[in-house]
Amino acid sequence: MEAIRRDLADSCDEEPGLGLEEERLDRLAADHGGAPPGRLDRKVHVRERLRLQHELVPRQDWVQDRKLRVVVLLEGRDSGGKGGVIERITQRLNPRVCRVAALPAPSEHERTRWYFQRYVSHLPLPPRWSGRARPDRGAESGRGVVILSRWRGYSAAMAKRPMTLDLFTTLDIVDDDVSAVVDAYLADPTPGSVAFGDGFRIDPAAAVASHPFARTLIDQPWADAGLRRAAIRAAILLAEPERA
């Protein structure tokens, strides 16, 4: 009966007057032994959930106004609650802007490919960069673009990164800040930290050195300055700035 009560409570709209009354839910629970100990009161849960959902709406507008792209990835075992979390996150967001890609189990053909490849078509990447971060196929290796199969220590570095990043602090870096750091590096490529955004510093030389695709290699020189600048910019965006 408790499972029925939870399903009824979760399926009802949280807005006052539209859902099942709290008194009826309380009577239903009391008739069948009450709620299990330690469970968060539903009124508290609904109020907190509404508050957090409403906070997401202006954040979505902020991202859309600046033409930014955000990816939220949820991983977990089967029946682990991912669907419920996705439903709560997207419940009050603009569906024209927020899109959910719930991929099924990989097919036999997809099992023979790189695991990440099945996600690429769903990522909000600019057309110019889509498909560049992939295993080396030999077609673009001469232009110095991202080739994940050649990144030294890539897997080890990703394993040490925190699972949760401060999203809105990271997004506080505007385009002019990145361009200023790129210009500073091109004018003086010697190591040294420079101001990056509000309250951050970054060493562009270290960022470029950590990503081979941003360097001019002897056997693969840059075809033009524009490609090199784009690669340096990508390396800076991938680096983690330090607080000043």
Q: φ and ψ at 147, to 5 degrees?
A: -130, 100
Q: How far is CA 15 from the centre of its chain?
A: 30
Domain residue ranges in the chain: 2-90, 120-243
Predicted pLDDT at 139: 41
- Residue linked to tokens 């190591």: 191
* Type and span of the H or E element at 48: helix 42-65
Predicted pLDDT at 119: 77
Query: Looking at 89-103, 151-165, 172-186, which range is the least confident one?
Result: 151-165
Q: Does 17 score more than 50 pLDDT?
A: no
The DSSP call for residue 147 is B
Structure token pair of residue 51 = 């508050």
Predicted pLDDT at 132: 44
pLDDT tens readout for residues 160-215: 555 444 444 444 455 677 888 888 888 888 888 888 776 778 888 888 887 766 66
Helix (H, G, I), strand (E, B) or coil at 128: coil
Q: What percent of the chain has pLDDT over 90?
A: 0
Predicted pLDDT at 19: 46
Q: How far apart are alpha carbons 62 and 144 in whole angstroms? A: 33
User: Which range has the top average pLDDT, 185-189, 217-221, 237-241?
Assistant: 185-189
Q: How far apart are alpha carbons 205 and 184 in whole angstroms? A: 10
Contact at 8 Å (CB) between 209 and 215? yes
Going by C-alpha positions, the residue among 168, 205, 6, 152 that lies closest to residue 72 is 168
pTM value is 0.42
Higher-confidence position of 137 and 35: 35
* Type and span of the H or E element at 155: helix 154-160
Structure token pair of residue 19 = 């859902």
